[in-house]
Amino acid sequence: MEKANPKAREYRFFSQKNQKMVCLHSEQALAYARYLEDRLWVAAYDACVPLELTDQIDPWGIRSLYFKTAWVSDFRLVYADGKQAVRELVRLEDLEKQAVIERLELSRRYWMWMAKSHPVEWKVEVVDYKKSL
C-alpha cells in the first residue's frame, strides 16, 4: 500500500490479460504484474486501487494522520472462479518498520470492511527488491 500520488514515477505496460495499459509505481509492482499475466487462475487484475476510507474502520493502533491521507492498494485480483483478492507488496526488511505495519493494518481493515458486501481475500506478498530489478 502506498500514498496515492499522481506525481510518482510510473511504469506502464500493455496487459494482455486486462487488454489495457497498466500503470504501476514501482519495479516490484511491475515484476508482480508480469507474474500475474502468466497465472491461469487470475482472470484480471487492477493496480493502484484507491481506498475510500470511512469512519467505520476501527482506528485503534493506527496513526490518525493515515485516515486523512489518500492511499492505494497495490493489486486487486479477480480469480478465474470470480472470487476477488487484494495483494499488498512489501519488502521483507520493511516489515520491521512500524509505519509499514500500520499501513498494512489499515489496508487489511479497509478490505475486511469492504468484504461485508463483497468477499475479498487479503494477503501481503513479500517481494525481493534485488530479484525484481
Domain boundaries, the chain: 2-132
107 Rama class: left (phi>0) / alpha (psi -120 to 50) / beta: alpha
Question: Residue 34 above 50 pLDDT?
Answer: yes
Q: How far apart are CA 126 and CA 90, in angstroms?
A: 5
Interval 44-62 mean pLDDT: 95
Model confidence, pTM: 0.92
**All residues at 6 or more sequence positions from 116 whose CB lies less than 8 Å from its CB, including other chains:** none
Confidence of residue 130 (pLDDT cuts 50, 70, 90): low
Predicted pLDDT at 133: 43
Q: The domain 2-132 is classified under which CATH number: 2.60.120.340, 3.30.460.80, 3.40.1350.10, 2.40.30.10?
A: 3.40.1350.10
**All residues at 6 or more sequence positions from 93 whose CB lies less than 8 Å from its CB, including other chains:** none
Question: Residue 132 above 60 pLDDT?
Answer: no
Question: Which three cell numbers mark 38?
Answer: 502468466
